[in-house]
């Protein structure tokens, strides 16, 4: 009788792994569905990014040479702040309606569920920002040849921003009016992403090789994928106790 039990153990382990991945997938689909029902929250970061980048020439100078030099800093500062706007809603509504508590009690991996929520944030904010960034860069005098580099850098960098932001959102989960504290926690951690992303964008605009800073952005994104869901899950558990 023991042999069949031993034979079934790997199958049960595989079934649990599939169910955990399935729970994360369902959590991702749920967040995407709810986001499209609240289109105001969905559009707000994108509108902020567009307004900042398009109005910046009016505040400085319409001269393309000057705008082209400042374009990397403008794009990445606007992208970072736009990403922060959506972070406040990452866990807040789920904490109010008890969804996070159900996640913690479900028996599924809370780390995987936190990763799914971070992935939803990136799909709803980071990816649209990456697609909008070339249009904003062209309005700031960037050449068309730089579009590929700009999209790649913002897409990879925004992955790291979403994961870093998930830690700050989880740490400030139990606090009222946590927006200012969330910014204070997240902005210092996001500085390496801002530096490497602006450098990659600057090299792409100048027509030079931008692979080195892009690889550093990728390394930050991989580090975030490895550590951020664990830290966010631990912070959520503490806030629920």
Distance CA 229, CA 66 (A): 40
What is the reported pTM? Answer: 0.86
| pLDDT category of residue 62 using cuts at 50, 70 and 90 | confident
Distance CA 7, CA 142 (A): 61
pLDDT at 3: 40
Q: pLDDT digits over 118-154, tens only?
A: 999 999 999 999 999 999 998 888 999 999 999 999 9
Distance CA 110, CA 105 (A): 9
In terms of pLDDT, which residue wins out, 7 or 165?
165
pLDDT at 217: 96
Distance CA 100, CA 189 (A): 25
3-state secondary structure of 111: helix
3-state secondary structure of 100: helix
Inform me whether the pLDDT recorded for 84 exceeds 60.
Answer: yes
């Amino acid at each position: 009788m023991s042999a069949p039990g031993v034979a079934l153990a790997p199958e049960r382990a595989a079934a649990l792994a599939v169910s955990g991945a399935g729970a994360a997938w369902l959590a991702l689909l749920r967040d995407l569905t709810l986001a499209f029902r609240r289109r105001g929250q969905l559009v707000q970061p994108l509108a902020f990014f567009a307004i900042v980048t398009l109005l910046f020439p009016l505040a400085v100078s319409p001269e393309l040479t000057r705008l082209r030099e400042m374009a990397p800093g403008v794009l990445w500062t606007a992208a970072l702040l736009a990403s922060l706007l959506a972070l406040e809603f990452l866990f807040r509504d789920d904490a109010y309606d008890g969804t996070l508590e159900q996640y913690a009690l479900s028996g599924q991996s809370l780390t995987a569920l936190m990763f799914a929520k971070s992935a939803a944030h990136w799909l709803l904010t980071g990816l649209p920002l990456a697609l909008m960034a070339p249009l904003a860069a062209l309005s700031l005098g960037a050449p068309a040849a730089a579009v590929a580099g700009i999209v790649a850098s913002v897409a990879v960098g925004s992955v790291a921003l979403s994961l870093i932001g998930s830690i700050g959102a989880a740490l400030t989960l139990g606090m009222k009016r946590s927006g200012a504290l969330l910014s204070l926690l997240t902005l210092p951690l996001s500085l390496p992403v801002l530096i490497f992303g602006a450098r990659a964008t600057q090299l792409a605009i100048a027509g030079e090789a931008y692979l080195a800073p892009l690889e550093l952005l990728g390394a930050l994104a991989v580090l975030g994928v490895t550590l951020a869901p664990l830290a966010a899950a631990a912070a959520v558990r503490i806030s629920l106790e």
